[in-house]
Amino acid sequence: MANNIEILHESVLVSTSDYLRIEKPERIQEQLSVKVTRHCFQPRFDDFESDWVAQVAVPAFKVYRQQRGGAAVDSFCSIGTGSGLDVLSAVEILGATRVGLTDVHEDVVAAATDNIARNYNQRHPLTIESGYGDLLAPLRPYAAPYDVIYENLPNILLQSTEEVVAERNSSAYLPPRTEILPELVRQQMLDLHYLALVQAREFLLPGGAVLSCLGARVPLHVFHSLAELAGYVPSFLTYSWKVQGDPELISDYERNQENGFGPFFFYRAEVLQARFKHVGIAESGENALEIERSLLPHRLDPACAYAAFKNGERIGHTVAVLKSELR
């Protein structure tokens, strides 16, 4: 896919219409200027099919607003925002006028906050609440709950906090947690997703929803259980696929499976492309379990997936956006 981008010495420019797949933005600038830091998960402006926001979050936001009959969402929060593109997308697509954002690193939050402030259309007032630290905790001083809380958090476990700081960015890896977790959550490496759901109960407005962006490398029924264990009523908002943007993560899943986690699975990208070719995004969540069953014969364990990648094949995985609503 050819994308309209220009690499600058300190930022990347991308066409909003191309990135959000809309005719013309109203609430954010027509061209987004995005700065990132070394701790931030890098947007994939050269290949939207492997970009989490463009490929997964944006379609989910469109479906969520459609489910609301077109009604705008007043307030939106992103846990682990990265570059802030998820927040800007929510401003445009959901119509949010108050946004919250967090991430682990101070420099990531500073850059994301700046990205949002520079790229929204000032004809439409926007309140920005931000802080760095663990999950939603940095937003407690604002004491203002949200209609929608969105998270796209990492799964891969590292051995120590130092590894995250010194070697890897926090958007792909996480240090061990000290909380007591349900065994299903721990086994499938869904620690942060579960903890975010538990924390979100304090920050969610009545009638609101938590949208969890989940790389579906485990069976879909696990995600339903994840939300139920945290005290929510779950449903799938969308079910789609994306290219594995960082193929080295496949070998990390292989390592963790060898250590007793999982099992995990991937697919050849061509299989996913063919299966989802005629699946409408608005109906994909309702049909998620049926689609998953049809893909069973094509699953690759991490070792086979990584071998196929090294042999020149594109590897992908399915993605579910889980909608969790309070009981």
d(CA 230, CA 59): 25
Look up residue 12 and give its DSSP letter: E
128-158 pLDDT, tens digit per residue, is 999 999 999 999 999 999 999 999 998 876 6
Which regions of the chain does DSSP assign to beta strands (E)?
5-7, 12-15, 31-34, 75-79, 98-103, 127-132, 146-151, 156-157, 173-174, 204-216, 232-243, 267-268, 315-326
Over the stretch 210-219, which tens digit does the pLDDT of each residue have? Answer: 999 999 999 9
Nearest to 87 by CA among 127, 142, 40, 140: 127
Q: Walk me through the domains of the chain, giving residue ranges and CATH numbers.
A: 5-326 (3.40.50.150)
Grouping H, G, I as helix, E, B as strand and the rest as coil, residue 173 is strand
As a whole number, mean pLDDT of residues 46-50 equals 86
* pLDDT tens, position by position, 226-281: 999 999 999 999 999 999 878 889 999 999 999 999 999 999 999 999 999 999 99
pLDDT band at 66 (very low <50, low <70, confident <90, very high): very high
Q: From 104, 109, 132, 133, select the one nearest 35 (Cα to Cα).
A: 109
Single-letter residue type at 209:
A
* Distance (Å, whole) CA 138 – CA 257: 33
295-301-304 Cα angle (round to 5): 110
Task: Provide the whole-model pTM.
Answer: 0.93
pLDDT exceeds cutoff 60 at 7: no
The pLDDT score that the predictor gives to residue 284 is: 98
Res 163: pLDDT: 45
Q: What is the pLDDT of residue 166?
A: 42
